[in-house]
Amino acid sequence: MKVDLGIWGKLTKVVVFLIVAAIAMIVAVLYYPLLQQNERMRKVTMQLDAQIAQEEASQRQYLAQIEAMRNDPRTVERLAREKLGYARPGETVIRFEESSAVQSVPLPPLNTRQ
């Protein structure tokens, strides 16, 4: 047997709905800072992953240079010539050095009127 409570039945449903909505809002408010922190950590992780990839590329380049210096006599010769100024017998080494005092020449003023 079903008893019609009239307005009280409808009010009970509204109150239950409002309680569920309030609980949902409380949960959302409590988890919002965690969601923001998660997003910040994700960004940091992506930045660190990019930095790791860049460092690994540098490492591969350095390892290739080391390997070339160990196994390629032309590389060793080139480095000795560039860094140490070595030359083969009979060769002349010419070094170009930048002067420490750069002289600036003043430019004449622009004459726009003729």
Mean pLDDT of 2-28: 87
pTM, to two decimals: 0.51
- Say if residue 26's pLDDT is above 90: yes
> Dihedral of the CA atoms 36, 38, 44, 47 (nearest 10)?
-100
Domain ranges of the chain: 7-84
CA distance 81 to 85: 5
Q: Read off the pLDDT of residues 85-107 as tens digits, 9 standing for 90 and up.
A: 888 888 887 777 887 765 666 66
Question: What is the pLDDT at residue 22?
Answer: 96
**Higher pLDDT pick, 1 / 65:** 65
State residue 93's pLDDT score: 76
Q: What phi and psi, each to the nearest 5 degrees, are found at residue 106?
A: -70, 140
The residues, any chain, with a CB within 8 Å of residue 75's CB and separated by 6 or more, are: 68, 69
Tell me the pLDDT tens digit for each residue of 38-82.
999 999 999 999 999 999 999 999 999 999 999 999 998 888 888
